[in-house]
Structure 1
Amino acid sequence: MTLGLEVEYWVVDESGHLCDGRDLVDCHEHVKPEFVGPLLEVKTSPHENVTALGRELQDTLRTVLDAAEATGRQLVPLGTPLTEHDTPATTDRGELYEEIYGENVTSPKNCAGTHIHFEKTDVARQIDLLTALDPTVALVSSSPYYCGSRTAACARAQAYRKACGERFQQYCDLWPYPDDVDAWCERVQENFDEFVDIATDRGVDEQTVREHFCPEDTVLAPVRLRHELPTVEWRAPDAALPSQLLQLAEGVDRLMTQTQTKPVTRGEPGVLADQVRVPRFEELRSLSDEAIHRGLESTRVCEYLDAMGFDTERYDPLSAKLSGPDEIGRDETRRLRLNCAARLRADVESLDEQSRSHPSKPRVQYSAP
């Protein structure tokens, strides 16, 4: 099973202010613009293992960091820019999002995430497993602030899923386990039809929507099927330091590989010899909410992640390091951005020395609520 990675990073100037970074896409073919100017996407090719993926990510990041620094800019590995920014969209599709989402476009403009693409094998099992791994957001959460306020350990996930308005939450929030792949695809089509209706209500005609969006484009949920690639895309994690993301990718990939030979069943969570067991959705929803709000401070979340094979003691999310007041000012914001930019550069350079082998811990008993 191959996998690939996409990570979004904020671009700041030497003072820590957000700035336009679109010209940096010229430095490497795997650097792409996002729909607002201060946000870039750094991606990899598909690879058969995380070690090869990490080498390419490191090489690409070195190139773009050098290009940014040559022009007095840096990249910031945070799930949100900490305080609100409202630069206009810079792509046709982005402008349509502004028209269709209206004031609710604030959350996608202020969120940066990581997307991991897995080659399709047993798609139903893959969807179930990636859905069940949503609480792993606690392992790499990188910002507790959204639009200047301390909101959650993983402020990006909270904002992206809940601050988009009631009408759009169905596109952005965690979806339940589907009965089968056909049922998933039916929901995607139904949501797209409703998206067209919403757009029409906002003055965007149906033909324009269909020219710029296909049904899967409107799914911004943590799990998405991509037909053209073709992959199962996991969109749950924050933007974060590459070493942390590679560590997480390795743990998830290890579990995804097991879905080729083991069924994914409901019950007491754990990785067993003959199956991977995940919680029922109601319990998972509660775990995900707790992971978003409390992160690794939650004993319940840590017990669940340990049961699924993740050694929570090996993770050190950035979000927990951004201590500060409930409301953060712009001067402190700029200082934290620059601090995290320096962490990113150091992390990229240290990847050569870091081991990417993190064996699973023995299964422990999971304490259900």
Structure 2
Amino acid sequence: MTVTTGIELELWVVDQNGRLTDGRAVADAHCRIEPEFVTSMLEVKTAPRDSLPALRRDFHEILQTAIRAAHAGEKRLVPLGTPLTASDGETHTERGELFEAIYGDGVECAKNCAGAHVHFERDETVRQLRTLTALDPALALVSSAPYYCGTGVQSSARAHAYRLKCGEEFQQFCDLWPYADCVADWRDRVDERFAAFTSLATDRGVSSAVVADHFTPENTVLNPVRLRECQPTVEWRAPDSALPSQLLQLTADVEAVVAQTASKPVVVGSPGLHDNRVGIPEFETLRGLSKAAINFGLQPRPVRSYLEAFGFDCSAYQPLSPRIADGDSVTEADARSLCLAQADRLEADVDDGLAPPSTRDGLFEGA
């Protein structure tokens, strides 16, 4: 089965010295480059594609345009899960200002976290939701930032901060949700969260009418797995921002698992791919594996064994976090140097054509 797939990649914009800077002008260079709600971040978005070569070509062309536009403004683009040290994150939209008013100090996480989002065309929706939830530990394959606001060390400081540091009231909008039993169950959860969000907003002086003008139930939840009604896709938001070639490889590997849900039931039991089913663990077991993946990456044997059961070759990935983690904190000067080094890696990755074709290209062929 071929699944139509799209990728969104959030990038930090820095100046020639590695300091975060306003990147909105870069977004003017292409219709698929969009500013985020903080001025120092933008997002590149591919069109939906039903072959990996087409997805690679699209990703390559957009990123080339973004890099050229950044250079024209004496800026660089950085694919890291966090900027390593704290960003003051100036917002520039009314919706962003409302997030600040509603989340309060908890909005710092959104201002200091950058991820990658993979959209899969909806087919067997519940099976896809359950499978992508179960693949949460695969974030360890591309973890890129061990520090959040200058301290660490987690393999994915972004996932740790985004899910847990927004405040207890807001974790329901950012953390991993239990498996869904049906689409109606998922939609009920989204509606319940939107009601809770509206209530929290009211408590902070933002009226329900203003919330309704700027938010929908669908875009209020920011969890690692989302059902997108408008596209329509199932969106996997677990990974850090990372090098595009590694994200393409991860997309191919995850798509290979998702494709099996078209013909196989997804059941709680022995995790992994089986002849007649896709097995997923009990949710509490999954949470433990995700926590280990976030904190220690691919180091724990249970994480590697779990991913291998789903067909991932962990040795084929080179996550950045363990290579740049050096002590339990990072200085501002070192963070800037690391950001510039990752900007260099991005440009080399794009210049190489986003790496040679994956051994799994055949999964996407025929389009």
- TM-score category (smaller protein): over 0.9
Q: Does 1:171 find its partner at 2:167?
A: no
Using the alignment, how far apart are the partners of 1:351 and 1:143 within structure 2? 24
Contact 1:51-1:356 within 8 A present in 2 as well: no
**2:292 touches 2:300 (CA, 8 Å); kept in 1?**
yes
Deviation at 1:353, TM superposition (A): 5.0
Q: Alpha-carbon deviation of 1:358?
A: 4.1
Q: Distance in 1 between matches of 2:111 and 2:52?
A: 29
**Deviation, structure 1 residue 87:** 2.6
Segment drifting more, 193-202 vs 81-90 = 81-90
The equivalent of 1:158 in structure 2 is: 160
User: Structure 2 regions of 5+ residues with no counterpart?
Assistant: 363-367
Partner of 1:363: none
| 2:53–2:361 CA contact under 8 A, matched in 1 | no
Does structure 1 residue 221 correspond to structure 2 residue 223? Answer: yes
- 1:327-360 CA-to-partner distances (Å, cap 9, x unmatched) read 2111101100000000000011113651222499
Alignment of 1:122-133 (within 5 A): 122-133=124-135
Structure 1 CA distance for aligned equivalents of residues 103 and 46 of structure 2: 30
Deviation per CA, 1:231-267, whole angstroms, max 9, x where unpaired? Answer: 1111111000001000000011111111111111111
Q: Give runs of aligned pairs for residues 214-293 of structure 1, distance below 5 A.
A: 214-293=216-295
The CA deviation string for residues 197-235 of structure 1, in whole angstroms up to 9 with x for no partner, is 000000000000001001011111001111111111111
1:315 to 310, 317, 338: 317
Equivalences, count = 360
Identity %: 51
**Partner-residue secondary structure (3-state), 2:242:** coil
Instruction: Tell me the CA shift for residue 311 of structure 1.
Output: 0.3
Distance change (3 Å), C-alpha of 1:228 and 1:2: same
Deviation, structure 1 residue 273: 1.5
Q: Give the root-mean-square deviation of aligned CA atoms.
A: 1.2
SS in 1 for 2:6: strand
Query: How far apart, in 1, do the equivalents of 2:161 and 2:26 lie?
Result: 28
Amino acid in the other structure paired with 2:14: V
What is the match of residue 367 of structure 1? Answer: none
Match of 2:38 in 1: 36
What SS class does the counterpart of residue 340 from structure 2 fall into? helix
Alignment partners' CA distance in 2, 1:92 and 1:337? 29
Alignment-mate amino acid for residue 330 of structure 2: I
Q: Secondary structure at the match of 1:251?
A: helix
Instruction: Determine which structure has greater relative contact order: mean sequence separation of CA pairs < 8 Å that are 6+ residues apart, divided by chain length.
Output: 2
Name the CA shift for 1:107/1:352 in 2 (closer, same or farther; >3 Å): closer
Query: Which residue of structure 2 lines up, in the alignment, with residue 108 of structure 1?
Result: 110
The corresponding residue for 2:79 is 77
Deviations 1:13-67 (A, max 9, x none): 0000000000111111110000000100000000002221111101110111011
Alignment equivalent of 2:341, drawn from 314, 339, 342: 339
**Paired letter, 1:127:** L
Map of 1:365 onto structure 2: none
> SS of the residue aligned with 1:27?
coil
Structure 1 segments unaligned to the other structure (5+ residues): 361-369
1:186 pairs with one of 179, 185, 188: 188
* Amino acid paired to 1:11: V
Instruction: Report how far residue 178 of structure 1 moved.
Output: 1.4
Separation of aligned partners in 1, 2:243 and 2:287: 26
Equivalent residue, structure 1, for 2:121: 119
Distance 1:269 1:158 in 2: 24
Q: Tell me how far apart the structure 2 counterparts of residues 51 and 315 of structure 1 sit (CA, whole Å).
A: 19
TM-score when normalising by structure 2? 0.96
